[in-house]
Amino acid sequence: NKRCWYLLNYNNLKNEGIDSKTIFLTGNTIVDALEWGVKKIEKNKDKVERRDLFRRLNSSKKLILVTMHRRESFGEDIKNVCLALKIVAEKYKDVQIVYPVHLNPNVRKPVYEIISDIDNIILTSPLDYESFIWLMYKSYFIVTDSGGVQEEAPTLKKPVIVIRKHTERTESVKMGISKLAGTETNSIMSSISDLLDSDNFYKKMIPVANPYGDGKASGKIVKIIYNFFK
């Protein structure tokens, strides 16, 4: 038996000749975990808000969350992204960019060299999952090369700018709720500016559904396994 997360995976398996009766479409458990995390935080929101990072946020500014850590981004790509963030931060004084920086020196060195001295950019150490969920929740949109974040963001109704040349998460790109911006400075700047300059463009990118799961994947998987051994 095969378990697949997404409809595209399901169709690929069928096209490979796998019996559809042995394929189960469940969605990704990452969405289950995210929904659980959000509910947990909402019960004790004040505790999270008192953490140092959240005290530094300016509620009158649009929050852009940035993550970048993939090995293929090391070198010129990460420098291009940082340059784009620098230009955006200097142009749009009504935004605040928050970037939890990966501990790898190949990431930290160019990031701190290029954007550490800009007033409306906050660089912080990697966050615990609870804090990161809440940062996603509070963001206006997200700029990332993370596959996991691409899967989580639609549940939180956040548009995503994907700073990669290619992505395996094509479902959200096809739906228009994430945009594959590449790793060139001008392309990233343009993609970010589109979301900041046009309310209509922004609204079109707000997800109405998450193609990666409905928060019930774990229950579906348990049921499938139970029925298999029953």
Q: Which residue, 149, 153, 142, 136, is CA-closest to 209? A: 153
Inter-helix orientation angle 76-91/105-115, to 10°: 30
Tokens 């309310």, located at residue = 199
pLDDT-based confidence at residue 6 (cuts at 50, 70, 90): low
Q: Answer yes or no: is pLDDT of 12 > 80.
A: no
Q: What was the pLDDT predicted at 4?
A: 47
User: What whole-number distance in Å separates Cα of residue 74 and Cα of residue 107?
Assistant: 7
pLDDT-based confidence at residue 21 (cuts at 50, 70, 90): confident
> What does the mean pLDDT of the chain come to?
92
Say if residues 181 and 187 touch (Cβ distance below 8 Å).
yes
pTM of the model: 0.89
Domains of the chain: 1-26 (no CATH), 45-204 (3.40.50.2000)
pLDDT digits (tens, 9 = 90+) for 149-176: 999 999 999 999 999 999 999 999 999 9
Q: What was the pLDDT predicted at 50?
A: 82
Higher-confidence position of 46 and 65: 65
End-to-end CA distance of the chain: 15
pLDDT-based confidence at residue 49 (cuts at 50, 70, 90): confident
Q: Answer yes or no: is pLDDT of 71 > 90.
A: no
